[in-house]
Amino acid sequence: MKTSSFQHMYLVASVLPRMTALRRFVMEGMMLVLGFRIKKDTSKAEQSKEAKVFISNHISKFDFIPFHVSLSCNTPNTSSFSFPFWAGGGECLGLINLGRNTRFSRSTFLSKLKSFLCRTEAPIVLFPEEETTNGKKGLLKFSSWPVSACNCVQPVILSAHRPITSISLSPIPSSWYSDFFWFLFTPCTVYTIKFLPVMKRAQNETDEDLMSRIEACIACEGRLSPTLCTPSEKYELEKRLVRALATQNSGARRYDSRMYAEAQRIREIFPNIPLNAIVRELGRSHGNAELTISRLIADSSFQNLSFNSSSSFNQSPSPSSPSTPQFNASPHNRMSAFAEKKAQFIAEARRRYIEKHGLNVPS
């Protein structure tokens, strides 16, 4: 149902004219059907008609959608937006192609951006972090190129939460298709766009200085910490996490296979003890077979299951021994008898294990 609703929204976005109240109303209604609500926070400032460029933090690969639906904003298709809108279809949802990739230099991209701003009335939203964060702790270092195309911008803070679930918008590591899956099938997602006061370039102010002021403003109002981390450092972190996860999974698989093989060998000595109990004791003893055998024998719940009645030390009962066990009243004697019985069990189990696997262990 949600997939069909998204297709209908995509079709409506393609047909209805841009920057009209009807299109905005229909798009917001269809977003509600999909489980998305977009709120505007004007507690600090109203949406400016003077500034045509919004500067925002970056929290997911689909940040351009709430901006386009609510504010009719366009967004350049930079490397952080990897969703494959074929044949220019991304423009229906505000994603425009200005050639921001390895084939074009930054100067070429900025000249195209300035030309686009001159010939359109629609505002544009830029994400100077160039990579996503969770929007809760800190900001990646802002790049200065977004303010090279204009002298007047309005900072905004984009935040999102999912009231019913705790699924992150863009976890590390993730891909566009996994994020898109949760984007569609999460029951409810609430986006909030908080407007901040318009910031203008001071006389002789450089792009870096203006962007530093914008970054400090967004960090302060969003209660975020500005950092010196760059998108390339985040990419390296993702690669390390992927490698660590792959190593951990392969190590766990090897550890499990060895554990179960060892448990099967021990179970040949204790056929009446459940395999999962042996595996559990092996895990507690870190794979030590002799320690596991000792613990199984010492566990009172397994004492009656340790050996078959036909293989209990090959000892026949003495004819003079009484048929019913006698309770020893002395605690010291009872503990001595228990320790002696335990030692016999351990010695017998050790002997059987060594004989079974042909180990050359000095006695």
Query: Is residue 94 in some structural domain?
Result: yes
- Per-residue pLDDT tens over the stretch 97-153: 776 554 457 778 888 888 888 888 889 999 999 888 888 888 999 999 889 888 899
Residues 105 and 138 grouped into a single domain: yes
18 within a domain of the structure (yes/no):
no
Q: Note whether 168 and 204 are same-domain residues.
A: yes
| Listed residues 229, 254, 275: the one ending a domain | 229
Same domain, 243 and 222: no
Residues 51 and 198 in one domain: yes
**Does residue 302 belong to any structural domain of this protein?**
yes
Whether residue 138 sits in one domain with residue 120: yes
The more confidently predicted of residues 142 and 250 is 142
Identify the band that residue 16 occupies on the pLDDT scale cut at 50, 70 and 90.
Answer: confident
Q: In this structure, are 101 and 207 located in the same domain?
A: yes
| CA 285 vs CA 147, 176, 268, 289: distances in Å | 61, 43, 19, 8
β-partners of residue 55 are: 126, 155
Q: Tell which residue, 167, 197, 170, has the closest CA to residue 58.
A: 170
Per the structure, the count of domains in the chain is 2
Cα 56 vs. chain centroid, distance in angstroms?
Answer: 23
In a domain, 54, yes or no: yes
- Cβ proximity of 42 and 53 under 8 Å: no
Quick: pLDDT tens for 166-186.
Answer: 778 877 777 777 777 887 788
Q: Is residue 351 situated within a structural domain? A: yes
Same-domain status, 221 and 251 = no
My answer on whether 44 and 161 are in the same domain is yes
Q: Is the pLDDT of residue 349 over 50?
A: yes
3-class secondary-structure state, position 245: helix
Residue 115 lies in a domain: yes
Boundaries of domain holding 245: 239-313+331-357
Share of the chain above pLDDT 90, in %: 20
Among residues 229, 253, 286, the one where a domain terminates is 229
Instruction: Check whether 253 has a pLDDT greater than 70.
Output: no
Upstream peptide bond of 66 is cis (omega within 30 degrees of 0): no
- Beta-strand pair 152-161/199-200: antiparallel
- Does residue 118 form part of some domain? yes
Q: What does the DSSP assignment read for 280-348?
A: HHHHHTTT-HHHHHHHHHH-GGGGGGSS-GGGSTT-PPPTTS-SSPPPP--HHHHHHHHHHHHHHHHHH
Distance CA 156, CA 12 (A): 27
Residues 51 and 136 in one domain: yes
CB contact set of 216 (below 8 Å; sequence gap of 6+)? 226
pLDDT, average across residues 300-328 = 47
Q: pLDDT, tens digit, for every residue of 37-76?
A: 999 999 999 998 889 999 999 998 888 889 988 898 888 8
Question: How would residue 234 be classed by pLDDT, with cut points 50, 70 and 90?
Answer: confident
Of residues 19 and 251, more confidently modeled: 19
Asked if the structure places residue 19 within a domain, the reply is no
Do residues 62 and 206 both lie within one domain? yes
Q: Are residues 72 and 211 in the same domain?
A: yes
Q: Using the structure block, give the residue that is written with the tokens 């190593």.
A: 247
* Domain-terminating residue out of 201, 229, 257: 229
- Residues 205 and 93 placed together within one structural domain of the fold: yes
Q: How far is CA 28 from the centre of its chain?
A: 29
What distance in Å separates the CA atoms of residue 155 and residue 125, rounded to the nearest whole number? 10
